[in-house]
A and B are shown apart, each in its own frame.
Chain A
C-alpha cells in the first residue's frame, strides 16, 4: 500500500521545469500531410500519453468516489434500488456505538502501530548508516517482511500469538509472566495486530530514512563534532532536523495506512474477523464498512462510513498544513 503513496512526500507536486526548449527547437514544418501529421502529433500525443491514467482514474476512481457519495445519501440493499434518505445514514452513524467503537479502535491501533514503528525505523536507519560489514545482508533482512503479504504475515502471527500454544506466551512464561489473552482482550489483541503492522513496515521506513540520512551534508557533522557534540547530540541536533521532511512524509503515509487498516484485524480474528473479535474489540472503520456492506447488505450505510474516512483524511491533511504553516512562520521564512 505505502508504495503507492510514497511519492506524495509533501503533498504538492514539485515545480515542472520550463517547457520552452522543446517548442523553441521545433524545426520549420515541411509541407503537405506530413506537416499536418507532425503538428497534430506534437499537439496531441502528450494527451494520448497521459490519457490511460486519467481514463483508468475516471472509471475506477473518480466515478466510484462520487457514486459512493450519492449512495451514502440513500438506503440501498445489495442488488436493490436506492431510496433517498438525505443525511440519515450519517445521523445513524453518529448514534451508533459500533461506529464510535470502530473509530476509537482505528485511532488506538493506529497510534500504537505507527509511533513505535517510526521510532524504531529511525533508530534502525541510524544503525544502518554506520560503516558496516555485511551492509547488504542487513538491509535486505530488515526489508524481508515487506515481501510478505498481509494475509501470510497475519496467519503466522496469529499462531505465534495464540493464547494456549503460541510461542509468545511460551516465552513470556519462561520469563515468569502469566499467559496473555491476545485474542479476546481489548488491549492485548490491539497490540498483537499492531505488532503485525510494525513488523511488516519498520524495515521499509528505515530504508526511506536511511536514504534521507545519506543526503545530509557531511560538513554539518564535522562542524557539530568541532563544537564538541557527542554522537547522540549529533543525531538529535543534526540528523533529525535534516531529515524532517522525510519524517513528516512517513507520518502522513503511515496515518493514511492506519486509517484504512483492514486485512490484519480481518484475518487475525479468524471466523470472528469481520466483527473485529467477539466483543468488536479490534473492529476498525474498514471492517465496519465491510460488515455493513457485505454482511448486513446496507450499502448506503457502508458508503457513509467510506465518506467519513475520506473526511477524516482531509481533516488530517488540513491539520498537517496548519502545522507546516506554523513551522514556516517559526523559521521566519
Chain B
C-alpha cells in the first residue's frame, strides 16, 4: 500500500529494476542449479511415463526417455479413465474460476468504491475467513452432501468454491487504485444504474486483474485435493487429483509407469499454461504479494 505509484507501473508483467548489480558467474551457477532441481522431477516424470512398469521399479532408475510413452498414455486414458478425470477437472476448475472472478469483482468493487454501512467490518470478516482451515468444515459438508445424495457429484466440489475471500481482497486492492471514482460518478450522472456501471466501467478497467485472478484460481482449483478427495471417489466421478490418489494407493493398478503417466496427464496442461503465460503469472503472484 505504501508504494502505490511504483506498483501501478509494474503491476502485471514488467519487472521494475531493483538493485542494478550485474550477476556474476556464481549467481548463474546457483540459479542454474535451482532451475535444475525445480525442473528435474518434472522431466523424470516424463521419463518414467515412457517406460514399462517393470523398468521403472528396477534399480538404477531410468534417466532417459524410453519407448512406451504412447502405450502408457493410451492405457491411462482408456483403462484408468484419466480422460474422464481430465474433463471433470477442467469443468470444475473452469466453473470455479469463472464464478470466483465474477463474484470477486462485484464484491471487490463494492468494497473499493461504494459507500455502505458496515463496509469496514464486513471487509475485516472477509480477511479473517482466510485463516480458517478447510478441516473445520469438511465433516458437516460431508454429511450435507450425503443427505443430498451428492457424493461423487461435481457440484459438491464446485459450490463451496464459488467465491473466495482471497479473490474479493485481490480485486478490492486492484480497483482501489485502478478505478478512478470519477468514472463511476460520471456514469451515475448519466443515469446509469449499478449493473450498467459494472458492465461498462468496472469490467473493462478490471480486466487485467480478472485475468490474473482467473489463472491463479484455476491453478488452485485444478490442484485442489483435500475436499475433492473426501467428496469424490476414484471409482465415481473423480477429478484428476482424486483419480491419481486412487492410482497411487493401488486401487486400480500397481503399474508405477501408469501411475506416473497419470501424474503427467494431470500436470501437463498446467505446465503448458505456465510455459505460455509464465511471465504474466509471475507478474500476478508478485503484484498480489506487494499489495498485501
The contact of B250 among A4, A128, A271, by CB within 8 Å, is A271
Q: How large is the interface on B (under 10, 10 to 19, 20 to 34, 35 or more residues)?
A: 35 or more
0/1 string, B240-280, CB within 8 A of A gives 1: 11001101111000001001101110110011011100110
| Shortest distance between the CB of B27 and any CB in chain A (Å) | 5
Residue B148 CB within 8 A of the other chain? no
- Which of B31-39, B71-79, B203-211 touches A? B31-39
In the complex, which residues of chain B have a beta carbon less than 8 angstroms from the beta carbon of A210? 286
A6 touching B133 by the CB < 8 A rule?
Answer: no
| Shortest distance between the CB of B38 and any CB in chain A (Å) | 5
Please report the C-alpha to C-alpha distance between residue A286 and residue B291 in the assembled complex, in whole angstroms. 31
A60 touching B115 by the CB < 8 A rule?
Answer: no
In the complex, which residues of chain A have a beta carbon less than 8 angstroms from the beta carbon of B160? 56, 59-61
Residue B56 CB within 8 A of the other chain? yes
B127 touching A7 by the CB < 8 A rule?
Answer: yes
B274 touching A214 by the CB < 8 A rule?
Answer: no
The answer to whether residues A310 and B103 also contact, given A17-B176, A151-B266 and a CB cut-off of 8 A, is no
Please report the C-alpha to C-alpha distance between residue A216 and residue B3 in the assembled complex, in whole angstroms. 10
Q: Which residue of B lies closest to A238 (CB)?
A: B19
| Shortest distance between the CB of B96 and any CB in chain A (Å) | 11
Residue B44 CB within 8 A of the other chain? yes
Residue B178 CB within 8 A of the other chain? no
| Shortest distance between the CB of A272 and any CB in chain B (Å) | 9
Q: Which of chain B's residues 144-194 have a Cβ closer than 8 Å to chain A?
A: 144, 146, 159-160, 162-166, 168-170, 173, 176, 181, 184-185, 188-189, 193-194
In the complex, which residues of chain B have a beta carbon less than 8 angstroms from the beta carbon of A79? 146
Residue A177 CB within 8 A of the other chain? no
In the complex, which residues of chain B have a beta carbon less than 8 angstroms from the beta carbon of A305? 135
In the complex, which residues of chain A have a beta carbon less than 8 angstroms from the beta carbon of B6? 215
Q: Which residue of A lies closest to B26 (CB)?
A: A127
The answer to whether residues A160 and B44 also contact, given A149-B266, A207-B286 and a CB cut-off of 8 A, is yes
In the complex, which residues of chain B have a beta carbon less than 8 angstroms from the beta carbon of A23? 115
Please report the C-alpha to C-alpha distance between residue A297 and residue B129 in the assembled complex, in whole angstroms. 28
In the complex, which residues of chain B have a beta carbon less than 8 angstroms from the beta carbon of A129? 18-19
Number of interface residues of A (CB under 8 A): 132
Residue A303 CB within 8 A of the other chain? yes
| Shortest distance between the CB of A158 and any CB in chain B (Å) | 7
Residue B119 CB within 8 A of the other chain? yes
Q: Which of chain A's residues 70-121 have a Cβ closer than 8 Å to chain B?
A: 71, 79
Q: Which residue of A lies closest to B168 (CB)?
A: A53
The contact of B114 among A22, A155, A259, A289, by CB within 8 Å, is A22
A212 touching B289 by the CB < 8 A rule?
Answer: yes
- Which of A186-194, A261-269, A275-283, A322-330 touches B? A261-269
| Shortest distance between the CB of B206 and any CB in chain A (Å) | 13
A143 touching B274 by the CB < 8 A rule?
Answer: yes
The contact of A144 among B39, B143, B164, B185, by CB within 8 Å, is B39
In the complex, which residues of chain A have a beta carbon less than 8 angstroms from the beta carbon of B219? 3, 146-147
A143 touching B110 by the CB < 8 A rule?
Answer: no
In the complex, which residues of chain A have a beta carbon less than 8 angstroms from the beta carbon of B259? 155
Residue B287 CB within 8 A of the other chain? yes
The contact of A4 among B31, B63, B130, B230, by CB within 8 Å, is B130
Residue A241 CB within 8 A of the other chain? no
In the complex, which residues of chain B have a beta carbon less than 8 angstroms from the beta carbon of A67? 139-140
Known: A151-B225, A214-B18. 8 other contacts (CB 8 A): A8-B292, A13-B169, A43-B116, A151-B241, A167-B60, A211-B289, A215-B290, A267-B248
> Please, could you name 16 A-B residue pairs with CB atoms under 8 Å apart, sorted by A?
A3-B220, A11-B127, A13-B126, A50-B168, A52-B106, A53-B168, A67-B139, A129-B18, A157-B41, A159-B44, A165-B58, A170-B59, A203-B34, A218-B19, A270-B249, A309-B136
